[in-house]
Amino acid sequence: MVTGKPLELGGSRARSYSTSLGGIHILEEALQKKRMDKSGVRIAIQGFGNVGENGARILHKRGYKITAVSDSKGGIHSDEGLDIPGVMQHKSNTGSVVDFPGSTNITNEELLSSDCEILIPAALSEQLHKDNAGNVKAKIILELANAPTTIDADEIFSRNKIMLIPDILANAGGVVVSYFEWIQNLNNDYWEEKKVLERLNSIMTAAFNDVHAICQEENRGLRKAAYQLAVKRILHSERLRGNL
C-alpha cells in the first residue's frame, strides 16, 4: 500500500525521475501538435528540486536549449543555453544555481516572464497569477508543480492563446510509476527499467492525445478537457457497476 520505496524494499525502477520524464513525454506530444521543432525552442524552468532538476537534465540530454532555471534562492539565465550538468554540479557545491559562471542572475519573477517558448513551473503553487500572467511570453506552459496557476491566470493564458498543460496531466508520471510499483508488488514481479519506461511513455502520450482530442472537438482548454475526460470515465465505470 506504500509506493516510492527504495528498490531494495520493493520499489520500482525509474520512480525517482518519473514525474519529470512523464511531463517531457507530454511536452513532446504538444510540440508535435503545435508543429514546433525542438531546435527552435527555448525553455525556462522554475524550480530545481527533484522534478525541476531531473526535467532539466533529461531535456538537456535530448538536445533542448534551456535558457533559464531557478531555485528558492534565485535564478540564472543565458541566451546561449545553460550547461545543465555544470549547473547541477554548481548547485551541489554551493547550494544554489545562483552565480553559475557564464550566466546572468535573475529573480524567480523574471524567469516567469523571460523570453522562451516553453515555461515549466516546477516549484510552488500559485506562482502564475493575475498580476504576472500577462507578462508570460511562452507558447506552452507545462505544469510540473502542483497548482502553479491561479484561475485568473488560466483565463489570461486562454485569451492569449497559450497552451497550458495542466498539472493533473503533466505531472502524472510519478503516480503512473507508483501504480506500476503496486502492480509489481502484488505479483512479486520486478520489471526492468526499459519496461517501466516503455509503459510510462505509452500511458502518458495516450492520455495527452485523449485530452487533446476533446480540446479540438469542443474548443476548450486542456485543463477543462482533462477534468471532463476523468469525470466521464468515472461515470462510465459506475454505470457498468450498476451504481447509476
In single-letter form, the type of residue at position 207 comes to A
The answer to whether residue 244 scores a pLDDT higher than 90 is no
Residue 113: pLDDT band (50, 70, 90) is very high
Q: How many CA atoms lie within 13 A of 215 on its CB side?
A: 19
Phi/psi at 230 (nearest 5 deg)? -60, -45
The answer to whether residue 36 scores a pLDDT higher than 90 is yes
Phi/psi at 101 (nearest 5 deg)? -55, 135
C-alpha cell at 33: 501538435
Q: Average pLDDT, stretch 128-136?
A: 98
SS3 assignment, position 30: helix
Q: How far lies 135's CA from each of 27, 199, 215, in Å?
A: 22, 37, 25
Residue 12: pLDDT band (50, 70, 90) is very high
The pLDDT mean for the chain works out to 97
- Distance from the first to the final alpha carbon of the chain: 29
DSSP 59-80: HHHTT-EEEEEEETTEEEE-TT
Q: Give, for 88, the enclosing helix (H) or strand (E).
A: helix 84-94
Residue-level pLDDT at 195: 98
Q: In whole angstroms, give the CA distance from residue 38 to residue 212.
A: 20
Q: Average pLDDT, stretch 26-46?
A: 96
Residue-level pLDDT at 1: 81
Residue 200: pLDDT band (50, 70, 90) is very high
- pTM, two decimal places: 0.96
CA dihedral 62→174→85→49, nearest 10 degrees, is 140
The answer to whether residue 214 scores a pLDDT higher than 90 is yes
Percent of the chain with pLDDT over 70: 100
Residue-level pLDDT at 233: 95
Residue-level pLDDT at 78: 98
pLDDT tens across 146-175, in order? Answer: 999 999 999 999 999 999 999 999 999 999
